[in-house]
Amino acid sequence: MSEKDILLGNIRSGQPLSLSERVRLTLMLSGPAILAQLASVLLQFIDASMVGSLGAGPSASIGLVSTSTWLCGGFCIALAQGFSVQVAHRLGANDPAGARNVMREGIFVVTVFSLLLSLLAVSVSGALPRWLGGEDAIRGDASAYFRIYAAFIPAMQFCFFGATMLQCSGDMRTPSILDILMCVLDVVFNFFLIFPTREVTLLGASVTIPGAGMGVRGAALGTGLSEVITAILTLYFLFVRNRDLSIVHHSGTFLPCKQTLKKAFGITGPLWLQNLVMRGAYIASTLIVAPLGAVSIAANSFAIIAESFCYMPGYGMADAATTLVGQSLGASRKDMARSFAYITTALGMGLMVLLAVVMYIFAPSVMSLLSVDADVVALGARCLRMEAFAEAGYAVSIVAFGACVGAGDTKIPTLLNLISVWAVRITLAILLTPKYGLMGYWIAMLIELNVRGALFAWRLLGNKWMNTKLTSD
């Protein structure tokens, strides 16, 4: 048995853990997730640069609907967490049979939900670019990209569901490896689907590289195919290989019971509201940025991708916080849960600040990897350098939210996000963007992320986030 499994077992059995053991366990769980997130970002750079090489127009068409794809993804993640948090609590209470029952019931619910969401998203794909205020020149590609993306939503849902289940059991390595694999597959598919058949010179010899020449449609299809393969592998490791959650040789029903559904939607409901609040704000931001033109849309989209170099490690630490807090509270150890919340938040903030320094120094070089348009590169680099000063606050909000989710505390964090994003970011963006262009929007985002970090620090320093009905059952 590995040291990680021994330490997790000590949490479940009520054994003490020293501060150094808690830090080591945090790093063991967060390490694979952080490495996967960083690898994901690097591969996203490659992916985005493939489309960026086609020019500002194709890049802008994807950027226009990117907030809508985030909205769909957010709904899928939130639904998965409604069941995975319950599984973490059951495992913390040494009830693997109960955890497997919750997982089975979750499978039925996410299947039905993802199919309905996919149908809805496909049906609105034709009108969506017009609703978002996109220019006529990019609407066709934007609509096609979103339609193909929507068709693969069920595969994406099972990627999220399987990954969160594995993570809450303490297995961070498998979903991290699979996440990296999905990104690699995406790049490989894009290499052949985006570009037409072409001649390249390798070691002095001319080589024909086959290609479908599908442009942005190829980018969407490549992502979808990589999700299908990853979903199949994720469910295999979950259903067959996971020590706690394997359903091989364990019978049970997939039909959800009332109690499981009530708890799931008690967690998921506020998360869905938050998704609407946050993604709705991002869509509103798209409406604010869209009139600035293709260069600003592309610079904004690429700068957000580049910024993920900083904040994706925070999400890796948040995954660890959800697991550690969830299992600690499942074992009725509130002091342990509070300690893990503080440790993960501090480590996440330190890491993101370090990466923010790197982003500030190399902002122009990073942007030049994503676009061949000099105006897009220059504008995006200015945005990145300013946003480096928001990463500390952003880190606190990301990791603290993960800790709250592990406790089943989603209502107040959702309210904090609503206040921060809509009252601060959108209000300031409406005031500043017309005067200062894209920089005005990023100034608004800089201020809002620091405000949000302060709000979540206040929430985490109290005790009420650990006193939810779910954790007291």
Q: What is the pLDDT of residue 45?
A: 61
Are the CB atoms for 394 and 452 separated by under 8 Å?
Answer: yes
Residues of the chain with pLDDT under 70: 1, 36-49, 468-473
Rg over alpha carbons for the chain, rounded to the nearest Å, is 22
Q: Per-residue b/e over 383-418, b at no fewer than 16 CB within 10 Å?
A: bbbbbbebbbbbbbbbbbbbbbbbbbbbbbbbbbbb
Whole-angstrom distance, CA of residue 311 vs CA of residue 127: 32
Q: What is the pLDDT of residue 313?
A: 81
Are the CB atoms for 214 and 221 separated by under 8 Å?
Answer: yes
Whole-angstrom distance, CA of residue 19 vs CA of residue 136: 58
Whole-angstrom distance, CA of residue 137 vs CA of residue 5: 55
Whole-angstrom distance, CA of residue 421 vs CA of residue 452: 8
What confidence tens digit (pLDDT) does each residue in 38-81 have?
666 665 566 666 777 777 778 778 878 887 888 898 899 899 99
Are the CB atoms for 181 and 209 separated by under 8 Å?
Answer: no
- Across 134-227, where does the E strand assignment appear? 196-202, 205-212
Report the predicted TM-score, pTM, of the whole model to 2 decimal places.
Answer: 0.77
Token output for 167 = 């993570």
Whole-angstrom distance, CA of residue 376 vs CA of residue 282: 20
Q: What is the pLDDT of residue 199?
A: 83
Closest CA to 412 of 276, 270, 279: 270
Q: What is the pLDDT of residue 471?
A: 45
